[in-house]
């Protein structure tokens, strides 16, 4: 029977889910695990605060609980990895978070990693998480793009800001690899890598690949 | 007007709240901030899993939001500090967590601190938190008492197990100070300290004192 | 009987002691512990070097030894925490250092803390101390105000330099909270916080509050 | 055209390569990248010392250089990751090491990881590597099985020793997940996991999965 | 003119100074720097507490100040490195501490170092120092010999206890190299190394060698 | 019989060996160990990449093996310490690396050390090494001089670039001591120290001094 990996966008913005879905296309293979990308209807339009993070854990873990019989693994596709450890209590199936997997993948691509955050206010939360992971000594810096969430709709401006921010991480903070600190922006990965000349990790792809591996080895 | 510090027991067990209330008696002074201890009715009987932790954030932050007009500070009285960073977004009034404050207080009392956990399953969660706090290098070890939550009702047995566990932390792991990794057990603090011969921190008291200070200095 | 906390300014400048005394006013409550602020006559006018730090340990611990019968706790009010560990050998009463308590309090107020030092030459000494405390990974940076000790008499200039230095810690080094790396300058705490928009810790107040808590719980 | 991942066993023992080859079977999918497992003929029978590690870098990187036109990624299948950073200079194709990938995968499966080494003499080398990776704070402990390489041929004894060593890592050192510190022993992964009740990572599988992902996303 | 290195035993026990003097014999060469070993008369018979450490800083730095015109470098020969940073303010001549140099030398001899302390009460002080040095992650453990200072006069018993303690550091804590956490016991270095089979660092010799180098290169 | 320390320049450039030889002149004393400086003929003209590092391990350890009967210690005089741990397996005689010894010596001279690298591409390799050594928390920053290897022949330009780079390490990154991240440039040490006003470590001298000490104490 076909294996299935459920990739959950915990915010309610379908466009983000669509971006995630497109990003996983290269990982789909006939005969291999399916990637089903879903939007958490109960989520906020965007996950910006710790309250947003904590607020989605309930519906997110409920969804995982409901789908654990027909799914073989789960990916939580928000860079704050909301509910990751709760979800791992709900099911014995693998649950991967894109922040954890994005950072760990970066460690295989360069010595010091930089992170591009959308919002400055998310940075302390991410720093706490890196501390909990025990990998803070590999962090070059995390910087925000400095755009409002609504401004992200302007693709040219967003791409330019990502490049500007990545450039500062590389030039001023000595980053050897960049992690995109958000989901659903995979379209900018290649342009960013081309502009910066260092590897750029799209974290949903990184997590999906690790989920794929776990499913195949189970 | 009298200042008020709301101490919230996020589990629904009134006996725990009562224990917390008694523990704060020495910090009450005529003319000083009141400590009001309340039980979060929506909480589970005990907070044992990450799901329990994440599950109380919603009602806990709601309660803090409702009480922020008549309270001057908040203490979250569960050793996992559930919702601490969410609560700090809800109100600009000080919010202290007993785990954070208990550990920081221990750092002023001895070089390496040991933690007595109730459940072995909580230890990885606590270790993640210590990593996020950036103080892991000061940890001697964390060990569980190895009792079921229901067995805690037997005071003699509980006291003995706390002492046995504390003894291992001191003798085998080199702890110079002990943190009690739970709320509502302040009655065992002094016997434990007497038996072990090293300082023992009751974290609710530590957090209440830091809240008192913040309120007076505001 | 009234409890008493002795706050010792280890330098011989009475104006600093007076500033400390005023800073503790909010922590004084009828029926609560007294704060008695004293000047260590044998101290130098200001503690600037490691020699100054080491040089006051003798008279400081002597004073603590003499006063331990009529005092319930001691605060060493110099940001280098001179003689802290010696003093803890002299008496079993609580002894708190303002550097230790100021930094630990900052950890409850923001993820990365910045420190404003008076003198550049003190920074290596402070960094050694943060290393000994095991909290270096939470440090954003420590920067000096770049004023001679005599220039601190000019309040307007001092306030402006504190703000400029704090601004660099926040903007260039990513500090989320600021610790004032000196005693006796509590008057600048609120203006600094207003100007920077992040919490600012006055370390003598932080230590006094922790001493108050220890005394009440003893 | 079919993508190809070259998995190189840098020791000259074909039985190890055969074990690796079997271990990767679940990752093979029609239409997906091939895994070709090869033995480095110039390698020693087993890689035991730092000299063995350094000694295979030349032939290993030569092989990678020669095969980079017909291969899309490389896996170095020895737990010391010999030549990993040299190989990354030889080719722009992804090169993964099983130690790096095994450890990073373990970080997604439990808080503190234990490592089972074959030889005690390899432990300092592995500790240096974990330090270079910046993940030492997540290590519970590394312990050797205490068997001569020749004794590994006795499968029953080997399995029992792996279980005994893993048991000590879990019970005495608090490991929440185990990494097998060797290649070619995938047959013991499941029995070890069953016996210990915690996740066990077979590092060649972990690295192969990460290589698969990199190839698909390239 | 002959260069001169002043090695100061900060305790007042001449027998310790004599032991230090004998230990430096191999570093003496015609035409090379002299090692003059002196006893700090004002010191206590043994440096056991933090008060002892802080208490000798005054006379120690005075002595260094007086001798800086006729000496080219100084070694502070007590494992707590009393007054090291004060002394570096007193003179621009090199000042080395045996604890700092002993530990740094150990880092060149094995991955994890163990320390044998005389007294258990000194261990927290040493741990603070290792934290200040930033090398705690290389520490296997520090254990006390568990003898009273007076019992050290019994050479057979002392040697045996050193060996027993070192054995536990190697076998139970994974130390690859041992640092003797005291001055004046160089006579036990070789027997200890022979018994344990790992390198053993006598810290006064290590510091004297680094002082010799600094003097020759000045 | 005269003791002999073999200092090996692992690149094939005799001018570098000559510079090393001159740098060791102050450590030569009649009756003391000889320093014999040799060029590894099989080495590349300069060691710039990880491949260069790994590539010299074979001939380097062969040379050490051949010379271990007539030499008492070995110094590997390249800032990447190529083959250091392999060499320590080849001989029981002391083997010191200039990077390890240069950094450890810097730790005795200032709190945070800066490193001047020749090539930007070497920095990740050096950072891995500092991580393996466990001393990363003491690093202020490492910056490249930004010269091609061929440009190093221009002494005036090289000296100016070293000073400019050191200046940035001190002023922008807070370095209290500088390590020259290369061998054979001892002529610039004093001018650099004079220009910067902080200690500057020439790593070959540091390693040679530690080797001298080991030989005398053996």
Between CA C40 and CA C79 the distance in angstroms is 15
Which residues of chain F lie closer than 8 angstroms to E2, CB-CB? none
pLDDT in tens, D115-163: 999 999 999 999 999 999 999 999 999 999 988 877 888 999 999 999 9
pLDDT in tens, D28-57: 998 899 999 999 999 999 999 999 999 999
Mean pLDDT score across all residues of chain A: 96
Could you tell me how far CA C102 lies from the centroid of its own chain?
Answer: 7
- Total Cβ atoms within 10 A of residue E195: 17
The contacts of residue E180 (CB under 8 Å, 6+ apart) are E102, E116, E162, E188, E189, E192, E200, E201, E202, E203
| pLDDT at position A119 | 94
| CA separation, residue F170 to residues A153, F108, F115, F161, F194 (Å) | 43, 17, 10, 14, 13
Q: Does domain A100-203 sit in CATH 3.40.50.12500?
A: yes
pLDDT in tens, E119-132: 999 999 999 999 99
Q: Closest approach of chain A CAs to the CA of F208, in angstroms?
A: 30
Between CA E57 and CA E12 the distance in angstroms is 14
At residue E96, the 3 state secondary structure works out as strand
Q: Using CB atoms, pick whichever of D30, D105, D137 lies closest to residue A31.
A: D30
Whether F and B touch (3+ CB pairs < 8 Å), yes or no: no
B209, C209: Cβ pair inside 8 Å? yes
| pLDDT at position C194 | 98
Scanning D92-111 for CB atoms below 8 A from B yields: 110-111
Which residues of chain F lie closer than 8 angstroms to C169, CB-CB? none
Between CA E104 and CA F100 the distance in angstroms is 10
At residue E95, the 3 state secondary structure works out as strand
Chains that touch D (3 or more CB pairs under 8 A): A, B, E, F
Which residues of chain B lie closer than 8 angstroms to D112, CB-CB? 124, 127
Q: Using CB atoms, pick whichever of F108, F205, F216 lies closest to residue E101.
A: F108
Between CA F196 and CA F167 the distance in angstroms is 6
Q: Does the pLDDT at position B161 exceed 90? A: yes
Q: Which two tokens stand for residue E95?
A: 């000042």
Between CA F207 and CA F98 the distance in angstroms is 5
pLDDT band at B153 (very low <50, low <70, confident <90, very high): confident
The DSSP result for F8-43, as a single string, is EE-SS-HHHHHHHHHHTGGG--TTS-EEEEEE-TTS
pLDDT band at D196 (very low <50, low <70, confident <90, very high): very high
Whether C and D touch (3+ CB pairs < 8 Å), yes or no: no
What pTM, to 2 d.p., does this model score? 0.97
The DSSP result for F101-151, as a single string, is HHHHHHTTT-SSEEEEES-GGGHHHHHHHHHHHT-GGGEEEEEE----GGG
pLDDT band at C1 (very low <50, low <70, confident <90, very high): confident
Q: In terms of CA atoms, which chain F residue is nearest residue A175?
A: F124
Q: Does the pLDDT at position D167 exceed 80? A: yes
Percent of chain B clearing pLDDT 70 (strictly above) = 100
Say which range, A174-188, C199-213, E60-74, E148-162, has the weakest mean pLDDT: E148-162
pLDDT band at C7 (very low <50, low <70, confident <90, very high): very high
Q: Closest approach of chain A CAs to the CA of F124, in angstroms?
A: 6
Most A CBs within 10 A among B53, B54, B81, hence the mutation to make, goes to B54
pLDDT in tens, E170-183: 999 999 999 999 99
pLDDT in tens, F141-187: 999 998 887 788 899 999 999 999 999 999 999 999 999 999 989 99
Supply the Cα-derived Rg of chain D in whole angstroms. 16
Mean pLDDT score across all residues of chain E: 96
The contacts of residue C140 (CB under 8 Å, 6+ apart) are C112, C113, C114, C169, C173, C174, C175, C176
Q: Closest approach of chain F CAs to the CA of A111, in angstroms?
A: 6
E54, C129: Cβ pair inside 8 Å? no
pLDDT in tens, B77-93: 999 999 999 999 999 99
- Total Cβ atoms within 10 A of residue F194: 10
- The residue among A200, A191, A203 whose CA lies nearest residue A170 is A200
Q: How many Cα atoms are found within 13 Å in the side-chain-facing hemisphere of B142?
A: 28
pLDDT band at F1 (very low <50, low <70, confident <90, very high): confident
A51, B125: Cβ pair inside 8 Å? no
What is the DSSP-derived secondary structure letter of residue D96?
E
pLDDT band at B152 (very low <50, low <70, confident <90, very high): confident
Same fold flag, A4-97+205-217 and A100-203: yes
| pLDDT at position B212 | 98
What's the burial of C31, exposed, middle or buried (CB within 10 Å: 0-12/13-18/19+)? Answer: exposed
Which value does ipTM take for this structure? 0.97
Q: B136 CB near a chain D CB, below 8 Å?
A: yes
Which residues of chain D lie closer than 8 angstroms to E137, CB-CB? 131, 136-137
Mean pLDDT score across all residues of chain D: 96
Q: Does the pLDDT at position B149 exceed 80? A: no
Q: Closest approach of chain B CAs to the CA of D176, in angstroms?
A: 8
Q: Does the pLDDT at position D1 exceed 80? A: no
Which residues of chain B lie closer than 8 angstroms to A128, CB-CB? 85, 132
The residue-averaged pLDDT of E205-211 equals 98
The DSSP result for A71-83, as a single string, is -SEEEE-STT-TT
pLDDT in tens, C61-111: 999 999 999 999 999 999 999 999 999 999 999 999 999 999 999 999 999
Q: E176 CB near a chain D CB, below 8 Å?
A: yes
Q: C129 CB near a chain E CB, below 8 Å?
A: yes
Q: B128 CB near a chain A CB, below 8 Å?
A: yes
Percent of chain C clearing pLDDT 70 (strictly above) = 100
Between CA A63 and CA E152 the distance in angstroms is 68
| pLDDT at position F191 | 97
The contacts of residue F29 (CB under 8 Å, 6+ apart) are E29, E31, E32, E216
- Total Cβ atoms within 10 A of residue B53: 24
What is the DSSP-derived secondary structure letter of residue B97?
E
Q: Closest approach of chain D CAs to the CA of A26, in angstroms?
A: 6
Scanning C21-60 for CB atoms below 8 A from E yields: 49-51, 53-55, 57-58
| pLDDT at position D150 | 78
Between CA A1 and CA A24 the distance in angstroms is 21
Q: D212 CB near a chain A CB, below 8 Å?
A: yes
Percent of chain D clearing pLDDT 70 (strictly above) = 100
Between CA D159 and CA D151 the distance in angstroms is 11
Provide the H-helix boundaries in chain E: 14-23, 50-55, 57-67, 84-90, 98-106, 123-133, 155-171, 189-196, 203-217
pLDDT in tens, B166-197: 999 999 999 999 999 999 899 999 999 999 99
Q: Closest approach of chain C CAs to the CA of E64, in angstroms?
A: 13
Percent of chain F clearing pLDDT 70 (strictly above) = 100
Interhelix angle D123-133/F123-133, rounded to 10 degrees, is: 120
Mean pLDDT score across all residues of chain C: 96
Cβ atoms of residues A121 and A98 within 8 Å = no
pLDDT in tens, C99-119: 999 999 999 999 999 999 999
The residue-averaged pLDDT of E66-85 equals 98
The residue-averaged pLDDT of A182-209 equals 97
Q: Does domain D4-97+205-217 sit in CATH 3.40.50.12500?
A: yes
Q: A124 CB near a chain C CB, below 8 Å?
A: yes
| pLDDT at position D27 | 97
The residue-averaged pLDDT of A6-18 equals 96
| pLDDT at position A79 | 97
pLDDT in tens, B3-22: 999 999 999 999 999 999 99
Which residues of chain C lie closer than 8 angstroms to A131, CB-CB? 137
pLDDT in tens, F50-67: 999 999 999 999 999 999
**Ranges of each domain in chain B:** 4-97+205-217, 100-203
- Total Cβ atoms within 10 A of residue F151: 13
Between CA D53 and CA D136 the distance in angstroms is 21
Most C CBs within 10 A among E132, E135, E139, hence the mutation to make, goes to E132
Q: In terms of CA atoms, which chain B residue is nearest residue D176?
A: B124
Q: Closest approach of chain F CAs to the CA of C192, in angstroms?
A: 24
């Amino acid at each position: 029977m076909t294996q299935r990996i459920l990739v959950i966008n915990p915010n309610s913005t379908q466009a983000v889910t669509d971006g995630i879905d497109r990003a996983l296309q290269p990982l789909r293979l006939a005969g291999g695990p399916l990637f089903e990308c879903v939007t958490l209807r109960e989520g906020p339009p965007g996950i910006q605060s710790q309250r947003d993070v904590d607020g989605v854990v309930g519906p997110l873990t409920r969804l995982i609980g409901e789908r654990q019989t027909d799914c073989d693994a789960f990916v939580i596709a928000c860079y704050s990895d909301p509910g990751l450890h709760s979800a791992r209590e709900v099911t014995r199936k693998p649950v991967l978070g894109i922040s954890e997997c994005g950072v760990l993948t970066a460690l295989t691509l360069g010595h010091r990693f930089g992170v591009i955050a959308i919002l400055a206010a998310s940075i302390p939360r991410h720093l706490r998480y890196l501390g909990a992971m025990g990998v803070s000594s590999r962090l070059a810096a995390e910087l925000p793009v400095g755009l409002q969430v609504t401004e992200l709709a302007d693709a040219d401006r967003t791409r330019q800001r990502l490049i500007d921010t990545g450039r500062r991480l590389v030039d001023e903070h000595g980053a050897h690899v960049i992690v995109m600190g958000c989901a659903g922006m995979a379209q900018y990965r290649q342009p960013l890598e081309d502009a910066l000349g260092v590897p750029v990790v799209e974290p949903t792809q990184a997590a999906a690949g690790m989920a794929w591996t776990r499913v195949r080895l189970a």
